[in-house]
Amino acid sequence: MVEKAGKYFSLNANYTLSHTLDDGTFVTFVSTPQSNAQRNLERANSNQDARHRFVANFTAAAPQSTFLRNFQLSSIITLQSARPFTLFVGFDANNDGNPVTDRVGNSPRNSYRGDNLETVDLRLARAVHFGERKTLNLSVDALTFLNNTNIDEVFSVYGAPDFVTGQIQPKHFGDGGFSPSGAVGAPRTAFNTRQFQLGAKFTF
């Protein structure tokens, strides 16, 4: 969707609905099948399955007839649903010599959802003109302007070969689910919080 309100404001927005399936994502232990003889049983949601994604950006320029002339405010807003992770036992529960591939109970690959992504980036810019051909463009960027925490990777070791009877099974980030290890869903890595960036470009 693209909207334009005169020559001073424009808005662009896009929404994507997608579903990604695979039988292995990365060339690391997390892609090693639980059973080498049954690779077809690994087919499930991909680790890159971001089901919903919304991105919008706008640009607002001040009229030349005001004291704010040559100023421009722009922003990029990104909203994305959580990526999935596999719940691992954390040890060699089936005694096949591989302690890192065993999944909890009958849970499929990537049955646990992490955290949603929400970011707002802002830019304030001004053009300073020197004659007809020389221009100094100044800008300040505020990345992750709202300073909210966006979790990238989570711990997914449950700590037992089966879900504990009578306890809430963890299904998505922050749901209060139980795990013997106490670590499922705990943040492992996060995206950067608020950052400021200054820029200057001279054209002639």
Give the bridge partners for 197, in sequence order.
141
Once rounded to an integer, what is the mean pLDDT over residues 120-148? 95
Q: Return d(Cα 62, Cα 131) in angstroms, integer.
A: 20
At residue 26, the pLDDT reads 60
Return the percentage of the chain with pLDDT > 90, whole number: 67
The tens digit of pLDDT for each residue in 36-76 reads 777 777 888 998 899 999 999 999 999 888 888 899 999 99
Q: What global pTM score does this model have?
A: 0.84
| Per-residue model confidence (pLDDT) at position 3 | 57
pLDDT in tens, 91-129: 999 888 888 888 999 888 899 999 999 999 999 999 999
pLDDT attached to residue 4: 60
Q: Which two tokens stand for residue 30?
A: 């997390």
Q: From its phi and psi, is residue 56 left (phi > 0), alpha (psi between -120 and 50) or beta?
A: beta
**How crowded is residue 104: how many other Cβ atoms within 10 Å of its Cβ?**
26
Task: Give the model's pLDDT for residue 132.
Answer: 84
Q: Looking up tokens 């596999």, which residue turns up?
A: 86
| DSSP string across 79-104 | EEPPPEE--B-SS-TT-SS-TTSPBS
Q: What CA dihedral angle connects 173, 175, 176 and 178, to 10 degrees?
A: -70
Instruction: Look at residues 145, 155, 152, 134 and name the one whose alpha carbon lies nearest to residue 201.
Output: 134
Q: Are 137 and 127 in contact (CB under 8 A)?
A: yes
pLDDT reported for residue 13 = 96
Secondary structure letter of residue 38 according to DSSP? G
What mean pLDDT comes out for the span 160-186? Answer: 93
User: Token pair for residue 130?
Assistant: 């020197």
Instruction: Select the more confidently predicted residue: 132 or 193.
Output: 193
Exposure of 177 in the CB half-sphere (CA atoms within 13 A): 23
